[in-house]
Structure formats: C-alpha cells, structure tokens
C-alpha cells in the first residue's frame, strides 16, 4: 500500500455552531489528502485533468469518532489500498496532534475520459509509479 500524510489547520468557517468541524467539511479534507498523495507520486490533479482524464468520486463511506475543533492541527493520512484499474480506492484517517483518530473514510474514484465521459483504464504511468508499493 502507498500512504502519504499531509497536515492542515481547521479554519473558523469549517466549524458549526457547536464549535466542531462540520461533518460536510471532511470530504474537503479527504480531497486535500488525495490530491497531495497523487502530487507526491508526481501526478498533480491539474496535469491529470489537462491530460484528458477526470476522476469523479464513485462512492464514499465515513465514520466519525471524535470532533475536531477550530484551530486544531490535523493530519490527513491517505492510503491507496490497491493498484488502480479503472477505479482507484483511497482510505483516509484524520488524526489530531496527539495521533488520536478523529475520523476515517474510504472513497472510490473512477478514471473517466474527458472527451467521451466514459470510464477508461488508469494512467499507465501512475500504475507503474505505484507498483513498487504492492509487491
């Protein structure tokens, strides 16, 4: 498996009236983790899309354990759980500064040809870059 960690700080506008990170904000955190994980492999989202490939989210599952609050420093641990085919699966763990698990989720994205709107195989170069992590 390939795992990448990125940090972010909770902004005031991401919290609800209770002072917790609003539940609908977490998918934005997953996107940050996903984009940075792919960037660390040499595949920035912009370059993927400029190359004619889109990556829409097919499904998402979320489990909330503990709340994050305004100004908390969070780590988003993003794991690519299998070599991509037509789909790519991600697992996310959102941790507080002490390493406590606050939130976990999975998403599956589909490689789609921008011109046709049809599913297509994963980028060959991405699969090659990930292959060493999946012996």
pLDDT of residue 100: 98
Helix, coil or strand: residue 73: strand
Taking only the tens place, the pLDDT of each residue in 31-66 is 999 999 999 999 999 999 999 999 999 999 999 999
- CATH of residue 36's domain is 3.10.129.10
Range of the domain at 118: 2-133
Task: Please report, for residues 6, 41, 64, 104, 116, the alpha-carbon distance to residue 130 in angstroms, rounded to integers and kept in the order given.
Answer: 19, 8, 29, 22, 26
pLDDT of residue 51: 92
> d(Cα 95, Cα 76) in Å, to the nearest integer?
7
Stated pTM of the model? 0.93
Domain count, the chain: 1
Taking only the tens place, the pLDDT of each residue in 65-106 is 999 999 999 999 999 999 999 999 999 999 999 999 999 999
Confidence of residue 135 (pLDDT cuts 50, 70, 90): confident
Task: Please report, for residues 49, 62, 79, the alpha-carbon distance to residue 6 in angstroms, rounded to integers and kept in the order given.
Answer: 22, 19, 12
Take residue 57 and report the two structure tokens written for it.
Answer: 């989210």
């Amino acid at each position: 498996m390939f795992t990448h960690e990125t940090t972010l700080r909770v902004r005031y506008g991401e919290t609800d009236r209770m002072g917790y990170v609003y539940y609908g904000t977490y998918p934005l955190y997953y996107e940050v983790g996903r984009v940075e994980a792919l960037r660390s492999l040499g595949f920035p989202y912009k370059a993927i899309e400029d190359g004619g490939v889109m990556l829409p989210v097919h499904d998402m599952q979320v489990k909330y354990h503990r709340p994050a609050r305004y100004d908390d420093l969070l780590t988003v641990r993003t794991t690519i759980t299998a070599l991509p085919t037509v789909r790519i699966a991600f697992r996310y763990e959102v941790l507080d500064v002490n390493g406590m698990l606050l939130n976990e989720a999975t998403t599956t994205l589909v490689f789609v040809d921008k011109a046709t709107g049809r599913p297509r195989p994963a980028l060959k170069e991405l699969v090659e870059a990930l292959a060493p992590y999946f012996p």
